[in-house]
Structure formats: C-alpha cells, structure tokens
Chains A and B, each alone.
Chain A
Amino acid sequence: MSSRDLVFASIRRALGVTGAEEPRRKAVADRLRDHPRGVIPKRGQLGAEERIALLLAKIEAVSGTTQRIASLDDLPAAVGDYLRAHNLPLALKRGADPVLAAAPWEREPALTVTIGATAGDDLVAISHADGAAAETGTLVLLSGPDNPTTLNFLPDNHIVVVAADTVQGDYESVLAALRDRFGPDGLPRAINLVTGPSRSADIEQTLILGAHGPRRLHVILVDRQASLNGV
C-alpha cells in the first residue's frame, strides 16, 4: 500500500466511511460548486466613495501611505514627486501591465522606467493591483508578466496603483471577481494579498518596518476609470 493510500485509508477508518457514500460526495460537490459565503463584516458594506475612504484609512493605519489622483495622466508626476520626496533615484521597475504602460511617462522625462521582473537590484517598483478589499486595507496583486511577483517583495519601495472602481468592500467580493474571471481552474500562480509594508516584531516585540519585503508601501488611487478603461 502506498503512503497515499495509507493516509486515505486511515482517514476513512477514523471517520467510519468508505469514501463512496453518495450523500457525502454530494455534500462536498455542492459546497465546492456553491462556495457559500459565511459571515461578512458590515464595515465594508458601503457606497463607492465611503469604501475608498475606508480602504485608504486602513492602509494608513498599517503604516502604508496613500495618495489619490484624478486620472492616469497624473501618475508620472505623482510617482516623480514621491521619489523626490524620499530622496530616491528617479528609476522605476514595472511589468508589462497595459494600464501602467498607458501612463504618459514622457511627462516626467528624468524618470527611467524599465520593464520586467526584478533580480533584487531595483530600489523602486510599481505595480497595478487587480483590486483591493477595503475592510482591512488589503491590495490584491496577481502574478504574471503584467505584474511580476518579485516586484512585490524585493525592492525597498513598492508603489501600487489601484483603480477606484476595483475597490471592493470585503474579501469575498474580491474572490468572487477572481473566480468569475479565471474560473476555479484558472487562478494565476500567485495571488498576493498585501496589507501594508513588510514588518517584524520578533525582537522584543518592537515593530520594525521592512523585514524582508518593502520598507515602504505607497498606494496611488486613480479615480477616473475612463483613461484606465481606454486601454
């Protein structure tokens, strides 16, 4: 008997089942198909504007910084100002994300934007979040060529662009959107739910930012969807 079969046999012996019982199989198939929602906090059940306010407040509460801009046209200046304010070099790594690609980067001529994953030698990366959950200030980032996972973790500074109309109230709405788009068999390799910059409190429970991931997380919320949808 293989170890796999031994484990299954032990579980079935413990539960007193064979695994072939039709009602059991149906109960499991139903739950997987229906994925019932449990308790969803009221705090995120808000109108669009209040939801955005909650998202930004929650990000600030976990030591992220936030900024709101009217459209993608303002993104290069916002990024340039942020880098200058923190005495960072005007260099940025991004993925192939079409929204990020559509920003008029030429308006910030001193800014060098390179494209691809990072090998750890970039100080600043920018990503486009697929969405966000306002209830805890959580960003949703998907792996792939558009927004490589390494950009979320290796650079010291992570700038994340979020479109206003992708801000959801709760995790369940975020997951439902992913399920609708990809199906249960088509999730991207990694879904990163990011809530604030990296931290550790392993030394005398003193909270320090920038443990292994970014020391700073700056979220830029883009209001007008028109220019985002236009790409």
Chain B
Amino acid sequence: MTHHTTSPRFKDNTKAALVDPELQKALHFVETNFPQRRRNVADMLPEFDALRDSARDIKNHTLSFLDLYLETFEARAMARGSKVHFAVTADEANRIVTDICREHGAEVITKGKSMVGEETGLNAFLEANGFAPVETDLGEYIIQIRHELPSHIIMPAVHLRKAQIEADFRRVHKDLPKDRNLDEPAALLAEARATLRAKFLAADVGITGANFLVAETGSAVIVTNEGNGDLTATLPKVHIVLASIEKLVPTLDDMAQLMRVLARSATGQEMSVYTTVMTGPRRPDDPDGPLEHHIVIVDNGRTAMLAGKFRDMLRCIRCGACLNHCPVYHAIGGHAYGWVYPGPMGAVLTPSLIGIDKAGHLPNASSFCGRCEEVCPVRIPLPRLMRFWREREFERRLSPTVQRTGMKLWAFFAKRPRLYRLATWPAMQVLAWFGRKQGRFRSLPFATGWTKHRDLPAPQGKTFQEQWRERSRS
C-alpha cells in the first residue's frame, strides 16, 4: 500500500503551486536560507570537498560488495540480539511491522521520521489494520495531522506558514484552552512537545528509520535534532528500525566520514544534535532501552536500480541539499512532485520506484542548471540521471506525439546541414524583420506554449553558423 501519487498531474500541480501565496512565501525561506547556511559550514571546513569524494567512494565500494556487507550486518546484528527481517516489497515491509505491533498488542505506537516509511505508506497500512501510529518529529507530526505527504525530505512541513500550523493545532488539540496564545513558534513547539511527551511515555512500540547500518558492528544509526528518534527508540518495549538496503556502510570509520557531510549538506549544521549508534536490545544490566530490537531491511525496487544506469542514485544519503538548491523546487515546492520524494533526487528516484509512465514529468522538470550535482555530498550526477529517464521515456514512446514529431522533424534537418541552413535562413530574416522594433516576441504562432511564460528574443542579424564561418576564416 503506497501513497496515492499525483505525479501524473505534475503540470496541474505546478500551476496551483505557482499561484499559492502562502506556499510561495514559505518557499522563499528555503531559497534564501539553506544555500547560504551550507556555504558557511562548507567554507569553515577546508577538507569538505575531499570528504565528499571520500563519501562517494565509500558508498560506491559498499554498493559493489553489498551482498557481503549485508550478510555481515545481518550476522552481527543477530549476534547482538537484534531480529533481522527482509522485505522485497513495500507491502511486505508494512506487513512485517504490523505483525510485530499486533504480536505485542501495541496500543500506542510512536514513530520517528522515516522516508522509507513514507515510501511504503506504513502509516496508512497500520491505520487500516486498526493501529494509530503517532509521528513525533515536529514537522512529520504537523503533516500527519493535516493528512499530507512531506514536502521536503528533511523538513516535512517546510511548505507551511505558522498561522496554518496554529489553525491545525487548535483543530486537533481540542482538550486545551481555546484562548491559549499560540502566536510564537515556541508556543507551538511547547504544545507539540507536551502532547507528544505523553505518547512517548505510553508507547508500546517505537518505529524509526536509520541513516546508516554499520556492517562492522551490526548497528543501526539515527540522526536527529529534536531527540524524538531517541525517545522513540529508547522508551517502548519494542523498537523497530525500518531501513533500505543502501543504508549500509562497512565500518564505524566510514560512518564518521558520512556524518561529516550529512548535516553540513542538510541543515547547514556542522553536526546534528543527536547521532545514535544502536546495537541490539537492552542488555541484562541496562536500566533502560527496548527489550526487543527489530531491523526490517527493505528492497522495494533498489536491487533493480543496482543493476542498471541508476546505481549512482543508491549513494543518496537523503540530506535534501539538491532540493534546497533547486530553482524548480524553489518555485513549486515539494507537493507538486506528487509523491514522497521531491526535487532533483525525487525526479530520479520516483520514476525508479513508481514507474516512468506515472512520473515522466519529473525528470523533465529541470533546467539542467547543475546546482544539485554541484552540492550533492556523494556527488550523484543528478542531471545525467534525469537525462537517462528522458531518453527512456522517448524510447518507450511515453512522450507526447507533438514533441516526438517535432524532435523528428528537427533531427531530419539537423542531420542535413545544407537543408538546415536553407530552411532556417529565410525564417530568421522574417523573424528579425518582425522583431526589429521590440527586439523580442511576446507571442508566436505555433509556439504559444513556450511564449506564454517567456519572451523570445528576436534574431539580431546573422545566424550563429554564419558568424562561426566568418570568424573561423579570419
């Protein structure tokens, strides 16, 4: 059971997003804050780019030996008392988690933020089976009470303004005084903290994701700023970790390399507040910690990516830097992408997971400015991977007929330079003559789709090829 996707309606989604004034204000924060914050901490660490190379190499190495590291991880986690489960599909992952909750008669289930949990639609599945999981990351909690998908992979509620969150809190927290003051973000946080603290203390089962799985020690690692992940992992009798196969790293030293690029790329912090290496359940003399520790390892389409052109995408550590630096994301936000993963990483990952037939618009929503690749901590060539999807879409005849015919027509002329010049020269003369006063066209016949959002500059005289010939001669 995965989330219903609106990716096929991407174009309608973007139109709505562009005229949503609250969303546009919220997105302005992302554009103005995060690139600068990342820049600041990157500049403070001279080794930052060398660390990105190191992070890339560690992930590549791990993926090349994934079967063996996974085997080692499984054996060592089990030796420390964790129960390790494997799920081929999203549905299977959901069933494994639900069965554990049922076995323990879980009345209260707390959840730390997990993107793979969003991907499998875990909350909806649990709810359909009579459970009521509570998200505990503040942003996730907000979107859960709004019944929304996250609009960003590390800041799920970044599309919202304070007043919208206040309205939601007043709607949901009915037992609190109506005249309470929620003007400040701190008051909203305090209310969420108090509400969720009760859930933490009552929880029977806690579910978190993992940022890393360490083969050397059989440990699962979570990184948070709020501390909600640790409360979710520590207080209930049962802790379930949901993690996809590409979260593996060989050793603790490899984890340290990745830690150095993760927070800097994500929030522009040098280090997130809490990084926790968790190995097995409570020990005989431990006064706290879960009595049972489960690790659910999810494939859900990743082994198919490992085989093909999209293996590079499996290096992704879900930092969100590509979203934070993307002009398309800045303009339309995360929900327009229509599924769990937005921005450039979503444009590559979503078609892999839900199909290019549903998500074909996503890899097309790029100006190929290349900022995503420039900032990626594991150097994923995101523009190139988006281009692979465009090619595949073309090969599978999924792109619109007009576009395909146009491309063919253009290719016909492009392969015949003489004919190309012959055909374009008069057209350029005509355009130049019509555009000589304004210097640009606000609209053109047969190209209104293009000129609706931008002006076409009028030709300024000689064509590029003419100028090229002239300059080569001299």
Contact = CB atoms under 8 A, between A and B. Distances in A.
A198 to B, nearest CB: 4
A150 B286 contact: no
Interface in B223-262: 225-228, 230-231, 233-235, 245, 250-254, 256-257, 259-260
B201 A120 contact: yes
Contact of A205 (B29, B250, B306): B29
B395 to A, nearest CB: 21
Contact of B274 (A7, A36, A192): A192
B47 to A, nearest CB: 5
A34 to B, nearest CB: 9
Contacts, number: 270
Nearest to B299: A7
Interface in A1-60: 2-4, 6-8, 10-15, 17, 19, 24-25, 27-28, 31-32, 35-43, 58
A24 B277 CA distance: 27
A39 B29 contact: no
A150 B51 CA distance: 33
Given A38-B253, A153-B231, A203-B157, A25 B226 contact: no
Interface stretch (A71-79, A105-113, A179-187, A222-230): A179-187
Interface string B194-222: 00110011000000000000011101000
B6 interface: no
A145 B285 contact: yes
Contacts of B26: 204
A220 to B, nearest CB: 19
Interface string A98-134: 0000000000000000001101100000000000000
Interface in B257-282: 257, 259-260, 267, 269-282
Contacts of A170: 256
B234 A203 contact: no
Given A32-B72, A39-B257, A143-B288, A191 B277 contact: yes
B155 A201 contact: yes
B226 A211 contact: yes
Contacts of A43: 45
User: Which residue, of B228, B252, B260, has the highest number of chain A Cβ atoms within 10 A?
Assistant: B252
A172 B45 CA distance: 16
B286 A24 contact: no
Nearest to A138: B271
A62 B268 CA distance: 12
Contacts of B297: 7
A157 interface: no
Given A189-B279, A197-B273, A171 B50 contact: no
B162 A204 contact: yes
A40 B45 CA distance: 11
The size class of the interface chain A forms with chain B is: 35 or more
User: Which residue, of B64, B271, B275, has the highest number of chain A Cβ atoms within 10 A?
Assistant: B271
A196 B273 contact: yes
Interface string B32-67: 010000000000011100110110001001001111
Contacts of B197: 120, 212
Contact of B137 (A25, A199, A202): A202
B307 A13 contact: yes
A210 B273 CA distance: 11
A188 B279 contact: yes
B136 interface: yes
User: Which residue, of B72, B165, B188, B289, has the highest number of chain A Cβ atoms within 10 A?
Assistant: B289
Interface of A: 2-4, 6-8, 10-15, 17, 19, 24-25, 27-28, 31-32, 35-43, 58, 62, 95, 116-117, 119-120, 136-138, 143-145, 148-150, 152-154, 170-172, 175, 178-179, 184-185, 187-206, 208, 210-214
8 nearest A-B pairs in the assembled complex, by CB-CB distance: A213-B227, A10-B303, A211-B226, A14-B307, A202-B139, A117-B287, A14-B306, A35-B251
